[in-house]
Amino acid sequence: FGSWRLVIAGDGPREYVATLKKKAANSHRIIFTGWVEGEAKESLLRNASLLALPSRQENFGFCVLEAMARGVPVLLTPQVNLAREIDAANAGWIVERDQLTHGLAAALADERLRASRGKAAQVFAQRYSWQKTAADLIDLYEEVRCSTRSRH
């Protein structure tokens, strides 16, 4: 993978994280940040070329949308519930867990394709912006209010 670095951000069970750190002990290209927030998180996302979430089960994946909103394409497993929609929008790569190495190699090998999918990711993420979500909720509440009124 050339000069790429792997940044593992977030927390997990202490024993599992310790096992991962032990496996990565001889690599200067794997960085464990632990939990990140605020400007540290912004910096990681701004400087990322790809966000990978090879999850066995993910109900939504806020980190996925946070990265996509900043134009970072994503590599996901099909068990991330947004995977189908992201694949249809050409905003990332969807790979099975046993194909993760191949998927990462393909995603990291083509800078133009990453940029193209990053732009598509940014457009996709706008569907879930706070402004869009708030407007959708207001519309829903108005619809419920009007339907309740018409029953009386």
The predicted model scores a pTM of 0.82
The encoded tokens of residue 133 equal 């979500």
* Cβ contacts of 77-81, under 8 Å, gap ≥ 24: 77/53, 79/55, 80/53, 80/55
Query: Tell me, what amino acid is at 120?
Result: A
Give yes or no for residue 152 having a pLDDT over 70. no
How sure is the predictor about 137, in pLDDT bands with cuts at 50, 70 and 90?
Answer: confident
Cα distances (Å, whole numbers) of residue 37 to 34, 45, 66, 78, 107: 10, 11, 12, 27, 26
Name the band, by pLDDT with cuts 50, 70 and 90, for residue 131. Answer: confident
- If pLDDT is split at 50, 70 and 90, which confidence band does 147 have? confident
> Which tokens is 55 given?
């999850």
How many residues does the structure list for the chain?
152
